[in-house]
């Protein structure tokens, strides 16, 4: 049986990049997911900060078989419940509050809390979470911060997001404690709003082709 600490890695699978997407219109959900899957980025984080987000996760699950739409921006136990009812395969948060960690630890939905400091990380680890979002990654030290985290926390894996760019991918992936990197730059909101699925697909393909081996 996979433990709670290992579940996020099982959901992420071989994914090394996780686009953070904001879906304002439900009819954008399926073509956006299709563009990302065709570009080689099947795992995507759908932010639960629009009225369409939860339903969009369900639409993607039904109509884009290879897509893995995890629920992002989960801030409260109620948000966690919304993610579960939407059918999300995993929930992700930018924070690690005691209430949220306790609710996630007692639930069955794979969960990745967000941390920015060693103290926040310890709070997550003591609740059994060993795969975490590092947020906001660039504001809190970028790759060098996670390089420093490795010695005291060698068993923790991070998914940095927040200010990440393609330019730092080599630096992130050179670290042994980075499981994947997330970023909204992979599916910019302006391209989503105008339905420029080709641009999103082509960028994804180009970035995947340049990933360090």
User: Do residues 175 and 193 lie in contact, with contact meaning Cβ atoms separated by under 8 Å?
Assistant: no
Of all helices (H) and strands (E), which one includes residue 57? Answer: helix 53-63
Is 133 catalytic? The answer is yes
Largest pairwise CA distance in the chain: 46
As a dihedral over the C-alpha atoms of residue 93, residue 98, residue 102, residue 104, rounded to 10 degrees, the angle is 0
Q: Hey, is 96 helix, strand or coil?
A: coil
At residue 1, the pLDDT reads 47
Distance of CA 70 to the CA centre of its chain: 7
Catalytic residue among 6, 45, 120, 144: 45
At residue 192, the pLDDT reads 98
| Per-residue confidence in pLDDT tens, the chain, 213 aa | 456 667 999 999 999 999 999 999 999 999 999 999 999 999 999 999 999 999 999 999 999 999 999 999 999 999 999 999 999 999 999 999 999 999 999 999 999 999 999 999 999 999 999 999 999 999 999 999 999 999 999 999 999 999 999 999 999 999 999 999 999 999 999 999 999 999 999 999 999 999 987
Rounded to the nearest 10 degrees, the angle between the axes of helix 197-210 and helix 29-38 is: 30
At residue 6, the pLDDT reads 78
Residue 19 to residue 186: CA distance in whole angstroms: 5
- In CATH, the number for domain 7-206 is 3.20.20.70
Tokens of 116: 């920015």
Is 168 catalytic? The answer is no
At residue 20, the pLDDT reads 98
At residue 3, the pLDDT reads 62
At residue 203, the pLDDT reads 98
Catalytic residue among 24, 59, 133, 144: 133
Please state the pTM of the whole predicted model: 0.95
């Amino acid at each position: 049986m996979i433990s709670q600490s290992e579940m996020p890695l099982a959901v992420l699978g071989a994914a090394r990049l996780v686009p953070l997407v904001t879906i304002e219109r439900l009819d954008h959900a399926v073509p956006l997911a299709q563009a990302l899957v065709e570009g080689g980025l099947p795992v995507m984080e759908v932010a639960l900060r629009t009225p369409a987000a939860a339903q969009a996760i369900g639409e993607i699950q039904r109509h884009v078989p290879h897509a893995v739409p995890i629920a992002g921006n989960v801030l409260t136990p109620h948000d966690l419940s919304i993610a579960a009812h939407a059918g999300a395969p995993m929930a992700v948060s930018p924070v690690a509050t005691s209430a949220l960690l306790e609710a996630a630890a007692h639930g069955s939905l794979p969960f990745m809390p967000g941390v920015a400091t060693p103290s926040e990380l310890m709070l997550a680890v003591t609740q059994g979470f060993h795969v975490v979002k590092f947020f906001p990654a660039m504001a809190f030290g970028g790759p060098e911060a996670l390089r420093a985290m490795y010695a005291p926390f060698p068993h923790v894996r991070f998914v940095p997001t927040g200010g990440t760019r393609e330019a730092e991918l080599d630096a992130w992936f050179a670290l042994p404690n980075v499981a994947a990197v997330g970023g909204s730059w992979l599916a910019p909101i302006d391209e989503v709003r105008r339905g420029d699925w080709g641009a999103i697909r082509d960028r994804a393909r180009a970035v995947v082709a340049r990933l360090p081996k």
